[in-house]
Amino acid sequence: MSKAIFVMDMPEGCAGCRVTKCEFDNMDKNSRANKCPLLPMPQKKKLSCDNWEYNIQVKAWNACIDAIGGDAK
Protein backbone atom coordinates (compact mmCIF):
# COMPACT_ATOMS: atom_id res chain seq x y z
CA MET A 1 0.00 0.00 0.00
CA SER A 2 1.36 3.44 -0.84
CA LYS A 3 1.81 6.12 1.82
CA ALA A 4 0.40 9.64 2.03
CA ILE A 5 1.03 12.76 4.09
CA PHE A 6 -1.79 15.01 5.24
CA VAL A 7 -0.56 18.40 6.47
CA MET A 8 -2.83 20.44 8.73
CA ASP A 9 -2.55 22.76 11.70
CA MET A 10 -2.06 20.73 14.87
CA PRO A 11 -5.19 21.04 17.02
CA GLU A 12 -4.92 21.87 20.73
CA GLY A 13 -7.22 18.99 21.58
CA CYS A 14 -9.57 16.42 20.12
CA ALA A 15 -12.46 18.89 19.79
CA GLY A 16 -10.58 20.97 17.21
CA CYS A 17 -9.36 17.96 15.24
CA ARG A 18 -10.36 17.47 11.60
CA VAL A 19 -9.85 13.69 11.73
CA THR A 20 -13.41 12.43 12.16
CA LYS A 21 -12.96 8.67 12.29
CA CYS A 22 -10.76 8.38 15.33
CA GLU A 23 -11.21 6.24 18.42
CA PHE A 24 -10.25 9.22 20.60
CA ASP A 25 -12.88 11.68 19.33
CA ASN A 26 -14.71 11.71 22.67
CA MET A 27 -11.84 13.24 24.65
CA ASP A 28 -11.97 16.61 26.44
CA LYS A 29 -11.90 19.50 24.02
CA ASN A 30 -8.52 20.76 25.28
CA SER A 31 -6.69 17.45 25.64
CA ARG A 32 -5.18 14.96 23.23
CA ALA A 33 -4.93 11.23 23.76
CA ASN A 34 -1.47 9.78 24.38
CA LYS A 35 -1.96 7.46 21.41
CA CYS A 36 -3.18 10.19 19.06
CA PRO A 37 -2.17 9.27 15.49
CA LEU A 38 -1.24 12.87 14.63
CA LEU A 39 2.45 13.70 14.83
CA PRO A 40 3.87 17.21 14.98
CA MET A 41 6.09 18.38 12.13
CA PRO A 42 9.79 17.72 12.75
CA GLN A 43 11.76 20.80 13.74
CA LYS A 44 14.39 22.42 11.56
CA LYS A 45 17.98 21.70 12.49
CA LYS A 46 20.65 24.33 13.20
CA LEU A 47 23.80 24.70 11.15
CA SER A 48 27.17 23.84 12.63
CA CYS A 49 30.09 26.26 12.60
CA ASP A 50 32.76 23.64 12.00
CA ASN A 51 31.24 20.72 10.06
CA TRP A 52 30.43 21.46 6.40
CA GLU A 53 29.32 17.87 5.65
CA TYR A 54 26.77 18.09 8.45
CA ASN A 55 25.64 21.49 7.12
CA ILE A 56 24.88 19.96 3.70
CA GLN A 57 22.63 17.40 5.38
CA VAL A 58 21.00 20.07 7.56
CA LYS A 59 20.26 22.28 4.55
CA ALA A 60 18.62 19.33 2.77
CA TRP A 61 16.62 18.44 5.91
CA ASN A 62 15.43 22.04 6.35
CA ALA A 63 14.50 22.34 2.66
CA CYS A 64 12.38 19.19 2.99
CA ILE A 65 10.64 20.54 6.10
CA ASP A 66 9.95 23.82 4.24
CA ALA A 67 8.52 21.96 1.24
CA ILE A 68 6.22 19.81 3.36
CA GLY A 69 5.10 22.71 5.55
CA GLY A 70 4.46 25.04 2.63
CA ASP A 71 7.35 27.40 3.37
CA ALA A 72 9.32 26.49 0.21
CA LYS A 73 10.58 29.42 -1.84
Instruction: Let me know whether 50 and 36 are in one domain.
Output: no
Query: What does the pLDDT look like over 4-24, one tens digit per residue?
Result: 777 788 887 777 777 766 766
Instruction: Let me know whether 46 and 34 are in one domain.
Output: no
Backbone angles phi, psi at 14, to 5 degrees: -65, -30
Q: What pTM does this model have?
A: 0.60
**Number of domains making up the chain:** 2
| Domain housing 23 | 1-40
Instruction: Let me know whether 46 and 67 are in one domain.
Output: yes
Instruction: Let me know whether 34 and 46 are in one domain.
Output: no
Query: What does the pLDDT look like over 11-58, one tens digit per residue?
Result: 877 777 777 667 665 666 667 777 777 888 888 999 888 888 999 999
Instruction: Let me know whether 55 and 68 are in one domain.
Output: yes
User: H helices of the chain, where?
Assistant: 52-69
Instruction: Let me know whether 66 and 33 are in one domain.
Output: no
Torsion angle, CA of 18/69/38/9, rounded to 10 degrees?
A: -40
Which amino acid makes up residue 1?
Answer: M
